Amino acid sequence: MRLDQAIAALHPAISRRKARELIAARRVLVNERAVSIASREVDASDRIAVVEDAPELSIIRESDDWIAIDKPAGMPTQPTRDREQRSLEELLRLRFREIWLVHRLDTPTSGVVLFARTPEYAAKLSALFANGEIRKTYLAILEGEIAEERVVDTQVQGKAARTTFRPLRVDGKTTLIEAIIETGRTHQIRIHAQSIGHPVVGDRRYGSGGRAARLMLHAWKLEHASFGVLEAPPPTSFSFESPILR
């Protein structure tokens, strides 16, 4: 079956003409890759996604080898089972034919995500991340008061993990901290924050969740000699002043 026919069959509200327009505008993904040929043959094994309204992405900086994006909170880094929710990787593929994901952020976390634009650089970045050579700095708002720097080096999922928590501001009920991780385990900061009795504000998995509108965790900076400092300023939704935190 042709791709435009398949889209019309999958989405009754989309005519074949509209399907061809979406394909021409690179708003259709087949197996997580943007396509532009309406006559392309597809079958039942192909994964077809239509993105009618693609949100603007905030590009921090880019080169021929990589591109850094400021991911909003609530957007998955990579495709999920929820086909109605577009991921950052999928949206990038609408604009760039070749993109490689080399690390990720949790869906509720905002901040810097780095993608490779060539397979060779993807291998290089993957090695740098795996070896802990890229410095990763987060901002987080933790429950309770932390008066001094804390270093946590307990294992996460049976693997070595180390996080340094540096308090930046305390208000008695919450603490704004800088978190530097030397490893990149899944949920590392959230697990280590819970382990010292100060879970991340808004963390419904490892903390109380509370009334915060979002998980107060933001990937602030990535640093390495090959690309310098990539920084994403905290969004307005990440606010130490918000009354909802108090």
Give domain limits for the chain: 1-52, 133-245
Among all chains, which residue has been given the structure tokens 């697990």?
Answer: 191
Smallest CA-to-CA distance from 50 within 69, 72, 77, 25 is with 25
State the pTM of this model.
0.79
* CATH architecture for the domain at 1-52: Roll (3.10)
Query: What is the separation of C-alpha 37 from the centre of its chain, rounded to a whole number of angstroms?
Result: 29
**Closest by alpha carbon to 189, among 204, 197, 199?**
199
Strands 48-50 and 28-30: antiparallel
Write out pLDDT tens, residues 92-148. 987 887 899 999 999 999 999 999 999 999 999 999 999 999 999 999 999 999 999
Please provide residue 77's backbone torsions phi and psi, each rounded to the nearest 5 degrees.
Answer: -70, -40
Q: Which fold has domain 133-245?
A: Pseudouridine synthase (3.30.2350)
**Residues known to be catalytic:** 106
Specify whether the CB–CB gap between 184 and 133 falls below 8 A. no
Average pLDDT of every residue of the chain: 89
